[in-house]
Structure 1
Amino acid sequence: MRPILVTGGGGQLAVALANLGGGRVQRVGRPGFDFDRPETLAATLRQVEPRMVVNAAAWTAVDAAEADEAAAARANTDGPARLAGLCAEAGIPLIHVSTDYVFDGDKGAPYLETDPTSPTGAYGRTKAAGEQAVLASCPQAIVLRTSWVYSATGRNFVRTMVEAGATRPVLRVVGDQRGCPTSADDLAAAILAIAERLDETGWRPGYGGIFHAAGTGEATWHGLAIAALEATGRPMPEVIAIRTEDWPTPARRPADSRLDCNRLEHVFGIRLPDWQPSVAGTVRRLLAGVTAPPGSDAR
């Protein structure tokens, strides 16, 4: 069977997909696949001949995007649009990963897929534009919005808290932003389950469009930090909740970007696990130096 092509090969989601998917998945990344070099996109699809594509490549440096929105747009809008067009030409599905940062966080309740986007920064603007470009360019496109992704590999909030907690007696963490922490391993499992459904049934019109795919439950960054630190089993540092304005950043983050994920369950029968056990499992693997999730066939 032809492989599932996963872009963004060095990122935590692509690594998780390769770990869980084994021989079903082929990862690609820069320099061989680079949105800044459009010719590499078509060349990669010709070489791999995938049966579907998962686009996990993106500009994710939220604050840096404020200083170079054009570069963020090439990675988050223009490149995915070209990739979607190539998938349409090849007649294969595309699963494109997006973000909760397409919302401003002012709704006061979990966001539905049908809620209007209203990003507050360059990163969110380029991702929102990328969603629409992908859907316009490929009739077999699925956009998965996720949030607060972490894993035992790469740089992410959970890893930062575990490392900081080992050396610092006091941590100050934002406590007035709310979202849905998501394990890269859980998200990868959901994506592979979608891929299996597409293999079984072929493409159906109800499969297309935007879906929310995030860990079940909600937390603040402060609450997520405490959960990660408690999972280490080490003496706890003092974790002080601070306000967003006490930790100024170039980009404004949404105050409440919780995602309603019921459509994913209704259409595909998929609901990601509760975030707390997933955080604990990730921390255990991180401390043990194990980067592959349990049950994977990664080598």
Structure 2
Amino acid sequence: MLVLGGSGQLALALSAAAEAAGIDCARLGRPEFDFDRPETVAALDSVPARLIVNAAAYTAVDAAEGDAAAAERANAAGPALLAAHCVRRGIPLVHISTDYVFDGSKGAPYIETDPTAPLGVYGATKLAGERAAMAAWPRTVILRTAWVYSATGRNFARTMLGAARKTDTLRVVADQRGCPTTAADLAAAIVAIAPRLSDGWEDGLAGIYHAAGGGETTWHGLAVALFEEAARHGLKMPTVTPIATSDWPTPVRRPADSRLDCGKLARVFGVALPHWRDSVAPVVDAWYAAA
């Protein structure tokens, strides 16, 4: 398995999950492979992969509004380039996408066939990447995920845990609903489906799947859960004040309710990610272990 994404949180988790499962895994990122330098796709030829997982992306949601060209190169043109590479080599592609392809107005968990309506450049370019990859290569699996976090990289959990060391009062948005997903859980799901994709492809496997943590919560709920687990390590529980999205303005609007229905992944592959609350403790423990 060849994982693209360098030292990103999902790429690192995929390396660990593949090793645990006895799957050979190579990982490439900058500078060897860079979507801003399309010619570096040639570096992929050096890896005798039977499956490519694209965990590389431009994920700075707000910054994308002012740098749409960079987001387009990584999130739309990049997947198209990878799909063409996979066509030439005849190997399947797993491409990671996002809940931000939806506008959050459905009022119920989204299924894969629901209409998309991204609210910003990030979501729009990720949606374009989905379409480009699937149009170029029938052996493409799109995994839409949500609210990914881990003990490494830049993410909500690390921001909250770091902030709690500096202040005893925090304000966190409580009117956005979603499905928190640890990088480790998502990586485990990808590794679980990998053999089905690389060992005798079946055309019915192609398409879009939702892959996110079970259950649902808000950013406020996730923050409280992080601090509850951190209390085991001696953290004094901060006061976490729930606020509205309007109290924390950002350059681009987030979906108010981007819950994902992951039933298709379970039906087709027999894979379901754990409930989000069950996966908080391992991330907090790993963060403290590395601190």
Give the TM-score normalised by structure 1.
0.94
Q: 1:222 matched to which residue of 2?
A: 220
State the alpha-carbon separation in 2 of the partners of residues 252 and 218 from structure 1. 20
Q: 1:240 matched to which residue of 2?
A: 241
Q: CA deviation at 1:70?
A: 1.2
Q: CA deviation at 1:167?
A: 1.7
Q: 2:18 matched to which residue of 1?
A: 21
In structure 2, list runs of 5 or more residues that go unmatched.
none
Q: CA deviation at 1:45?
A: 2.2
Alignment-mate amino acid for residue 11 of structure 2:
A
Alignment-mate amino acid for residue 31 of structure 2:
P
- Asked whether the 8 Å contact 2:91–2:198 carries over to 1, the reply is no
Find the residue that maps to 2:170 and give its secondary structure: strand
Percent of aligned pairs with the same amino acid: 62
- Asked whether the 8 Å contact 2:147–2:180 carries over to 1, the reply is yes
Q: 1:171 matched to which residue of 2?
A: 170
State the alpha-carbon separation in 2 of the partners of residues 211 and 20 from structure 1. 20
State the alpha-carbon separation in 1 of the partners of residues 161 and 175 from structure 2. 21
Using the TM superposition, name which of 266-275 and 162-171 deviates more: 162-171
Q: 1:211 matched to which residue of 2?
A: 209
Q: 1:87 matched to which residue of 2?
A: 86
In structure 1, list runs of 5 or more residues that go unmatched.
291-299
Q: CA deviation at 1:205?
A: 1.3
Q: CA deviation at 1:39?
A: 1.0
Q: 2:110 matched to which residue of 1?
A: 111
State the alpha-carbon separation in 1 of the partners of residues 105 and 197 from structure 2. 35
Q: 1:52 matched to which residue of 2?
A: 51
State the alpha-carbon separation in 2 of the partners of residues 7 and 141 from structure 1. 15
- Asked whether the 8 Å contact 2:75–2:125 carries over to 1, the reply is yes
- Asked whether the 8 Å contact 2:92–2:198 carries over to 1, the reply is no
User: Are 1:33 and 2:18 an aligned pair?
Assistant: no
Q: CA deviation at 1:198?
A: 2.4
Q: Deviation digits for residues 1-42 of structure 1, max 9, x if unmatched?
A: xxx11001111000001112126110000111011111111x
User: Are 1:70 and 2:66 an aligned pair?
Assistant: no
Q: Deviation digits for residues 63-119 of structure 1, max 9, x if unmatched?
A: 000001111000000011011111011110000000000000000000000001100
Q: 1:296 matched to which residue of 2?
A: none
Find the residue that maps to 1:54 and give its secondary structure: strand
Alignment-mate amino acid for residue 206 of structure 2:
G
Equivalent residues, number: 285
State the alpha-carbon separation in 1 of the partners of residues 44 and 70 from structure 2. 23
User: Are 1:128 and 2:127 an aligned pair?
Assistant: yes
State the alpha-carbon separation in 2 of the partners of residues 167 and 218 from structure 1. 28
State the alpha-carbon separation in 1 of the partners of residues 45 and 171 from structure 2. 49
Q: Deviation digits for residues 138-164 of structure 1, max 9, x if unmatched?
A: 110000000000011111101111111
Find the residue that maps to 1:145 and give its secondary structure: strand
Q: 1:98 matched to which residue of 2?
A: 97
State the alpha-carbon separation in 1 of the partners of residues 198 and 250 from structure 2. 43
State the alpha-carbon separation in 1 of the partners of residues 48 and 131 from structure 2. 25
State the alpha-carbon separation in 2 of the partners of residues 191 and 20 from structure 1. 9
Alignment-mate amino acid for residue 230 of structure 1:
E
Q: CA deviation at 1:277?
A: 1.6
Q: 1:287 matched to which residue of 2?
A: 288
Q: 1:184 matched to which residue of 2?
A: 183
Using the TM superposition, name which of 98-107 and 45-54 deviates more: 45-54
Q: 1:260 matched to which residue of 2?
A: 261
Alignment-mate amino acid for residue 119 of structure 1:
P
Q: CA deviation at 1:289?
A: 1.5
Find the residue that maps to 1:172 and give its secondary structure: strand
